Amino acid sequence: MAALNVAPEQLRFFRLAVHRLDRRRPLAELQQAAGVCGLQNSPPGAWETALFQRLEDCTLADLQKALYVDMSLLQAWSIRGVPLVFPTAESDVFLSPLTARPGEEPWIYTQGVGLALDYLGMPWEEALALVRQAVGYLEDHTVQSKEELDRVLAAQAAVLLPPEQRARWNAPTLYGRTDRQSVGGAVVSFALRPCSFSGLVVFGQRQGISPTFTSYRRWLGRDLVTRPDAEACLVRKFLHAYGPSTPARLADWLGSTPVQARRLWQTVEKELAPVTVEGKRGWMLAEDMDALTRAVPPEEPLRLLGAHDPYLDARDRALLLGDTALQRKVWKTVANPNVVLRQGRVAGIWQTKTVRGKLESTVTLFEDFSPAERTALAEKTEEYAAFRGLTLKQCTVQPL
């Protein structure tokens, strides 16, 4: 089959529409906006910023209600092991397919567990089974803070071990601060992500600065039931949001091994069509081809995206920002900045600090902006401050 050749600009316009960033949607479309590919909540509050950029008249109260009162949204560890907010009705899609089959491990977020396992003389399969047994504690309890969760579940697991192994399990951690975690607590921390994929642990209602944790059943009053095509549904979400793509990029997005990604990719292989962008070939859902060719420029060309917005999760970063040196300023190992989006391109970054209830913002531009565009950026910053319940004290717009 001959590949469709698409200009980068056309693909950006298509993705903006898919991600609900071409124009703001009614608040009634909250579920659809959250369900495109989930919303990362790291740093805390990132999911709220993402939905604010996508929905009209969206308030923090609206979002908290959906997550904690209506429970139409759920937060759990998902792709790449990140805290992800997604529609509760699609829990199986965002969780169950991530479970690896034999020979498909390790996930990127369990690779470091080997040091603790060697010390314990325990294979990973045994450690995971032990933690899965201990995490049953959450069927009847809610635990506040991740540190306390590691400690409580490590104590639950310890009583299941023989005395000699228990002593090693309870020894000070081999990672970081020895006064705050045991070896067993570290193993628990590594194993919680795979436990999440079975609904054994989810995030409950946040208490101040601390998250809480319980089981899927305790939080929602029902078991996690997985639809037969959940794996295909997750891959379709990825390709709809980030196509054209490849199995290698799917593995990167999932945080899985190439073996697992190739297996999942095969669930939709018959639904794909080839697309070429600047000489690079990838695959898209055939059902998206018409919308791709008809994509038009966004109604709102300027956006202020938060760090780790789903739109920025594209593995083909050059499509969003061609300069590799500037890419390193946007996609960092830690502490990514917020991003200025212009016609789907990354055109700058913005950073904020809050002092006594007032927001100060600094916008650093990678491109030339007109005076009208600079004014628009300041207005958008003021809108964001109001969303957060703050007053904008100052917005400085500067060149790189």
Write the pLDDT tens digit of every residue in 288-331: 999 999 999 999 999 999 999 999 999 999 999 999 999 999 99
Q: What is the mean pLDDT of residues 352-369?
A: 94
Would you state the pLDDT for residue 333?
Answer: 84
- Tell me the per-residue pLDDT of 19-34, one tens digit each, with 9 for 90 and over: 999 999 999 999 999 9
Q: What is the mean pLDDT of residues 240-249?
A: 98
Would you state the pLDDT for residue 368?
Answer: 95
Q: Please count the CA atoms within 13 angstroms of the CA of 225 that sit on its side-chain side.
A: 6
Helix (H) or strand (E) holding 397: strand 391-399
Q: Rounded CA gap, 59 and 52, in Å?
A: 7
Residue owning tokens 């190992």: 333
Q: How would DSSP label each residue in 95-151?
A: HGGGPPPTT-PPPTTTGGGHHHHHHHT--HHHHHHHHHHHGGGGGS--EESHHHHHH
Would you state the pLDDT for residue 251?
Answer: 97
- Tell me the per-residue pLDDT of 177-229, one tens digit each, with 9 for 90 and over: 888 899 999 999 999 999 999 999 999 999 988 999 999 999 999 999 999 99
Would you state the pLDDT for residue 178?
Answer: 81
Would you state the pLDDT for residue 177?
Answer: 82
Would you state the pLDDT for residue 92?
Answer: 98
Confidence of residue 46 (pLDDT cuts 50, 70, 90): very high
Q: How would DSSP label each residue in 357-394?
A: TEEEEEEEESS---HHHHHHHHHHHHHHHHHTT-EEEE
Q: Rounded CA gap, 366 and 364, in Å?
A: 7
Q: Rounded CA gap, 379 and 377, in Å?
A: 5
Find out whether the peptide bond into 244 is cis, omega within 30 degrees of 0.
Answer: yes
Q: Rounded CA gap, 53 and 56, in Å?
A: 8
Q: Rounded CA gap, 315 and 312, in Å?
A: 8
